[in-house]
Amino acid sequence: MVDGKLVKRSYTISSSPTQRNFVEITPKRVVNGLVSKFLNDLAPIGMVVKARGPYGRFYFDESQHERVVLIAGGSGITPMMAMLRYIDDLCLKVQVTLIYFVRTERDIIFEDQIMAIESRVRSFRHVLVLSQPGAQWNGWRGRLRREILEREVEQPLDSTYFLCGPPAFMELCRSLLKQMTVEPSRVLQ
């Protein structure tokens, strides 16, 4: 309820499925967004909301996915965090590479949590790519391109890919993976 009116929005869960007492979402604050502004600026801790779902078939299954590549653009990191937290919570031995694209270092969401998971999960590594890096940035620069995928993904044909980001980003990613001869059934979004 926002200003006495029922307002519906869809958000991605960013907490691990092992959590039973709460569900975490990470709403990106949108300048003219009624609900995002409310959630980021006014919602009280412990606020109760009505929820439906989850919907879709975008999920990690440890019985099927032994090697995964998570490719996220901007706020598309939220479902990746749910998967990473789950892998961390259960100490799963799956090989995980996160390739995360953002504009600047200030745009990195969950930076501390990603670093903490990487320190605990030996089979996890992450790669940051900045499209507008500062002068001190030593990592990948620019936008999603085949060179990054080819250099950063080990055993690309044996991996399952999870994509989340803006539509054009995901379309480009699917196209690049197709060029790399990755089976379409191994690409989930």
Which tokens in the block code for residue 4?
A: 């006495």
Res 44: pLDDT: 86
In degrees rounded to 5, what are phi and psi of residue 90?
-100, 5
Res 45: pLDDT: 81
- CATH number of the domain that residue 98 is part of: 3.40.50.80
User: Would 55 be classed as within a structural domain?
Assistant: no
User: Would 115 be classed as within a structural domain?
Assistant: yes
User: Would 117 be classed as within a structural domain?
Assistant: yes
User: Would 142 be classed as within a structural domain?
Assistant: yes
User: Would 129 be classed as within a structural domain?
Assistant: yes
Residue 165 domain boundaries: 67-188
User: Would 118 be classed as within a structural domain?
Assistant: yes
What ranges make up the beta strands (E) of the chain?
A: 67-73, 95-102, 124-130, 140-141, 160-164, 187-188
Res 56: pLDDT: 72
Averaged pLDDT in 10-residue chunks for the chain of 189 residues: 86 89 85 88 84 80 94 95 96 96 94 96 96 94 96 96 95 97 95
User: Would 123 be classed as within a structural domain?
Assistant: yes
Number of domains making up the chain: 1
User: Would 43 be classed as within a structural domain?
Assistant: no
What ranges make up the beta strands (E) of 35-131?
A: 67-73, 95-102, 124-130
Round to whole Å and give the CA distance between 58 and 47.
27
